[in-house]
Amino acid sequence: MKESKKDSLFDIRGRVAVVTGGGGVLMSAMARELGRRGVRVVIGTRSEESACPVVESIRDEGGEAMSVQMDVTDRAGIKRAADEVLQAWGQVDILINGAGGNRKDATAFGDLSFFDLPEEALLGVLDVNLLGSIIPSQEFGRIMARRKEGVIVNISSMSAYRPLTRVIGYSAAKAAVNNFTQWLAVYMATQCDPLIRVNAIAPGFFETDQNRFLLREEATGALSQRGQQIIDHTPAGRFGAPEDLISTLIWLVSPSASFVTGTVIPVDGGFSAYAGV
């Protein structure tokens, strides 16, 4: 059967995608979908334990996947990972900068006030979210620059648009990721090649292991006051599910988005559009 133009717009078969933070809830869902679509997927994590189930699930469904150990704030480690990917598959077409997150000790909550937040915790959050997007973009983006094509997708947050109470370091870091996305899009297009595109996805509120302590009561699992406030301000009336991010990702990394660069796409159930009244 002849492939339709519609199908070819979203055809990403045969490409190589590096997914940092690939063992997490959201990133693993993205990685699995890329594998289903014929992409060779590299799961980058600090822990082989978290990467193995994702790699195995992709292979079980007939896809190709490998894991590489990487700390996204360690340039030497990222360079070694890039060399490992090139040795295995010879190219990198897609980079998804998904490593990031918040820390409880960098959150002004309970007995820990803003005035007492430890510097080490704040720097840790800034490093993993901002530097953790910049350094992989340097090393894997260098490969794209040589090949004169590629796609980078950063993972931002609703916190970048409206700084959320309590998560000072996380909000600041994700706002910086938005700025970096626009900066890098211009740099890659003008200094390397217009076929290299850089965009970001800004998820709304998705329940993950890292933020569950803010969204639900530990003892009962019921929505916390904060969790209920989020639902009340989300027109869709629910938290996001990992699968809600997939269609946006596939669009951004496929030929259908060939004229899209320097954008940050909210996937938030309407949270950013709702004023609360």
Angle of helix 132-147 versus helix 168-187 axis, rounded to 10: 10
Catalytic residue among 161, 170, 187, 274: 170
Residue type, 263: T
Report how far apart, in Å, the C-alpha atoms of 86 and of each of 17, 62, 80, 82, 140 are.
12, 22, 10, 6, 10
Check: CB of residue 188 under 8 Å from CB of residue 197.
Answer: yes
Using CB atoms within 10 Å of the CB of residue 19, give its burial: 0 to 12 exposed, 13 to 18 middle, 19+ buried.
buried
Placement of tokens 């990702």 in the chain: 249
CB atoms inside a 10 Å sphere around CB 170: 27
Check: CB of residue 93 under 8 Å from CB of residue 13.
Answer: no
Check: CB of residue 98 under 8 Å from CB of residue 43.
Answer: no
- H-helix or E-strand spanning residue 17: strand 16-20
Outline where 37-167 has alpha helix (H).
48-60, 75-89, 119-126, 132-147
Placement of tokens 């699995």 in the chain: 32
Task: Based on the residue annotation, tell me whether 187 is a catalytic residue of this protein.
Answer: no
- Which residues are part of the catalytic machinery? 170
